[in-house]
Amino acid sequence: MSCRIALGLSYSGQHYSGWQSQSSGNTVQDQLEAALARFSADGKARISTICAGRTDAGVHGLMQVVHFDAPVRRPDSAWVRGTNRFLPPDIAVQWARAVPQGFHARASATARRYAYVLIQSPVRPSVETGRVGWVFRPLDGDAMSQAARMLEGEHDFSSFRAAACQALSPVKTLQPIRITRRGDAAAESCYWHFEFESNAFLHHMIRNIMGCLIAVGQGSQPPEWIAEVLQARSRKMAAPTFSPDGLYFLGPVYAQSWGLPARTAAYDWLP
């Protein structure tokens, strides 16, 4: 009899074509399913996983949650150590839990959380390459915060939606965006941390919002322009899609009754 397992997964998205399986095999899902098959059945049986939220090429995951129906029973700790044995070094299972058959990684989530880490510096990043977005002009945090407040609540986010988005509705409910700066206020270099939470996100929604917030922060547009973009419901009105490099899927939010971890140690290294 199969057993439903939930996994918490972290990964660097730099070298992968996103989460979702592709014919190339160069996706996080492909790597995970191959590792699960090798651990549970010597690679003979395919194990299909369902994730809480797909990520694009170059986007990282700190706690992607997946579920699958395992063909064999193993202790939770064995799913962690055994699967990690067959995963590349930039993908790792952080935890495993046996869950009821009614649990669904995507449908059981009540919200999803992302962070965008940005470095403001006159020179490009080096050790952070691929892990942070970059701007070389100073940003006005107050202006960005003022603009961000106009996006709070339930809205039609069509202006921030990619053409390839498959969501049935562009209407989403966005919680207040948290914007913090780390570094000397007088210094020309610093880190910016943007945190997003919503019941769901559209394809490229955060990267498109980031493009607009940065335009405001650099003074190219006034904060009120964000409201005009939102009301236009047209992608043509918004700024270009920003880089995926600094985008992190922090993970889904579930009811406490499922007994799943809310965070992992990976959260604590982000600026």
What is the separation, in whole angstroms, between the first and last Cα of the chain?
Answer: 45
Q: Which residues of 90-100 are buried (b: 16+ CB within 10 A; e: fewer)?
A: ebbbbbbbbbe
CA–CA dist 9, 198 (Å, integer): 20
- Name the token pair of 21: 């399986």
Tokens 């019941």 found at? 199
Catalytic residue among 56, 90, 140, 268: 56
> With DSSP H G I counted as helix, E B as strand and the rest as coil, what are the percentages for the chain, rounded to 5?
25, 25, 50
Count CB neighbours of 161 within 10 A. 22
CA–CA dist 34, 45 (Å, integer): 10
The answer to whether residue 56 is catalytic is: yes
232: which residues sit within 8 A by CB, 6+ positions away?
Answer: 159
CA–CA dist 255, 245 (Å, integer): 30
131: which residues sit within 8 A by CB, 6+ positions away?
Answer: 12, 14, 60, 117, 125, 245, 246
- Any idea which residues carry the catalytic annotation? 56
